[in-house]
Structure 1
């Protein structure tokens, strides 16, 4: 419930807007909030640009379907960070028509966000088939059916975000704010909670649990048949890559749950103004953080990526007269020998 209090001081009248379920201000976004967005998301943009550059420079995206999907993830996350700064770091324009266009166009931001989520799902599907059902992966040539894995996230992202463009409108009562129509709010809340968070999270948790169990089972079997098997480089690389993506999934759950849960609660009870409370500003920023931290996880856990960074670094030193060409060649050879 929103309560309006009016204070009259001489000839000045000030309206203070408060909410029983959150803090609402009638002013434009505070400077500290704008600064926080630029710092967090700007850092994410730089990281995603760095990951994309490494993948392009050493052509790592051509190595396998998995690497191609991770490369696509970085591009989508980069676009998502840019869309967030454009649509959520400024208020809707004054004027009903311009404001309505701006609010409906915000669906582009959520299209990119949902595409990013389902690209993670496609990575999970690829890893699940490759590790749990390797024979089917080879026999059905899953790695060469990349067009399906690359396009499905965009299709699902468009389908799920399209209705937001329809129900979004400018909030005529609060300047610079957007709102969603209450006519279909409950179906929208349930739909997005299930398809954007709950089902993808459950599916990814199930798949990675199966993957981890499968890797452990095969490691024990091969250790019995061939002592020292776990020390082979390609085995540790495969395990490391799986655990890298598992960390990405955990980060997805932590960053996505607050905002999508708040949206569901709002559509059930309508007991607070979802688009104007400060808590919503933080949950949307946290949701965007999921697209900012993926590059950190890649850099910390993916050996292929770290080798690529080393190659670029040594190449840079060589071009500046530091080091020798053999160090660059050796790094390139190490990357080419690495297998998933």
Structure 2
């Protein structure tokens, strides 16, 4: 274990490793440090609040009580955790980095690693779940809640293990010749392995969704002339488009950062990885901000649930003030009106509108 290490380098401050690898670090605040903290703080707060809203929406709306929504809720939990991780990073970056102990530095890195791993493994689980349900001609998975809970627990166990791997010894604290520049206490071999594993996961997910898309499109052409419910085919296609948007946003936001880590791990001296690492980190942070927007854009039921949550305090106030003024209508659990016929809080498994947010 790292924390029981007795090698000489372990007694050095964090700045020693930064100077050793050539990554600039200053005790004084520079303009870009103020920019990172000034922009990072409100973004992190928004990420936390937005993903909390997604989780609450899935919990309170019975229409979302299906395996795929539980996995999407877990995805929001991973984004929420990422927001907390970035918030911790914001308050431990720039000149604050010099004051960190080696343990605190590894905690900072472990939080980011865990959030990424949780998101990747969760997306893999969603891809497998969608592949199984689509190819068995089902709108929802038959997976029991117990299995979903076990799957979610497994996702977070894998994330914790992967986040703690550098802390458990795969680092360069006792072998300074293997230190990288982007993360000066990480071993280059760890960065290469971690980046390759995540990039491979991306390719696997893209391949799975491509296979599903081809199958759905082909089956839609065959079944459309012979079915009385063409809307179901459109529902499945809409479902896949939404999941592809989530996957696409994840790949776009994280691939540049993983490529930077891979190049740094391969000791590419001409790649100027330090020049681009900050931009890649900001882009990766934006991914946790994009997913709640995608859920809102693609799903009317999710938007309605958001309004129900956000307007709840105002409805309580109006109840005390009397019937005068503006009154916010809650989502009804009975027979919906024509305008809100697709926003009922009860869900029939065969309802096409129930899957638009997947």
Q: TM-score, normalised by structure 2?
A: 0.72
- 1:179 matches 2:184: yes
CA distance in 2, matches of 1:41, 1:206: 32
Q: Is the 8 A contact 1:115 1:153 kept in 2?
A: yes
| Corresponding residue for residue 279 of structure 2 | 282
Q: What residue number does 1:162 align with?
A: 164
CA contact (8 A) 2:191 2:262 kept: yes
1:199-238 CA distance string (max 9 Å, x none): 11111111111221222223222211125x32x3x54443
The alpha-carbon distance between structure 1 residues 323 and 168, as it changes in their structure 2 partners (threshold 3 A), is farther
Contact 2:36 2:90 in 1 (8 A): no
Residue 11 of structure 1 corresponds to which residue in structure 2?
none
Q: Alpha-carbon deviation of 1:105?
A: 0.9
1:279-326 per-position Cα deviation (integer Å, ceiling 9, x unaligned): 222212221221221111111112431242354467677653445868
**Hey, what does 1:223 align to over in structure 2?**
224
Q: What does residue 8 of structure 2 align with?
A: none
Contact 1:266-1:272 at 8 Å conserved across structures: no
Query: Residue 15 of structure 1 aligns with which residue?
Result: none
The 1:310/1:221 distance shift into structure 2, 3 A limit, reads farther
The answer to whether residue 125 in structure 2 is matched with residue 128 in structure 1 is no
Secondary structure at 1:200 match in 2 = helix
Summarize deviations over 1:130-171 as a string: whole Å, max 9, x none.
Answer: 112347x87xx434521343123213222322222232769x
Counterpart residue number, 1:37: 40
Q: 2:13 is matched with which residue?
A: none
Displacement, 1:259? 1.1
d(CA) in 2 for partners of 1:326, 1:178: 50
- CA RMSD between the two structures: 3.5
Match of 1:261 in 2: 259
2:332 maps to 1:328: yes
* 1:258-292 Cα distance to aligned partner (Å, 9 max, x none): 111111111111638999x3522221222122122
TM-score, with length taken from structure 1: 0.76
* Inter-CA distance 128–305: structure 2 relative to 1 (3 Å threshold): same
Q: Does 1:68 align with 2:70?
A: yes
CA displacement at 1:76 relative to structure 2: 1.8
Q: Say whether the 8 Å CA contact 1:43–1:292 is kept in structure 2.
A: yes
8 Å CA contact 1:103, 1:168 repeated in 2: no
Secondary structure at 2:92 match in 1: coil
Structure 2 partner of 1:3: none
Alignment of 1:1-340 (within 5 A): 24=24, 26=26, 27-28=28-29, 30-61=33-64, 63-91=65-93, 94=98, 99-106=101-108, 107-134=110-137, 141-144=142-145, 145-165=147-167, 166=169, 167=171, 179-182=184-187, 185-186=188-189, 188-196=190-198, 198-226=199-227, 229-230=229-230, 232=231, 234-269=232-267, 271=269, 277=274, 279-312=276-309, 319=316, 320=318, 321=323, 322-323=326-327, 328-329=332-333, 330=336, 334-337=344-347, 338=351, 339-340=354-355
Larger relative strand fraction = 1
Q: Deviations over 1:38-71 (max 9, x none)?
A: 233332222212212222332455x210000111
Higher mean C-alpha deviation, range 43-52 or range 241-250: 43-52
Q: Which runs of 5+ in 2 are unaligned?
A: 1-18, 177-181
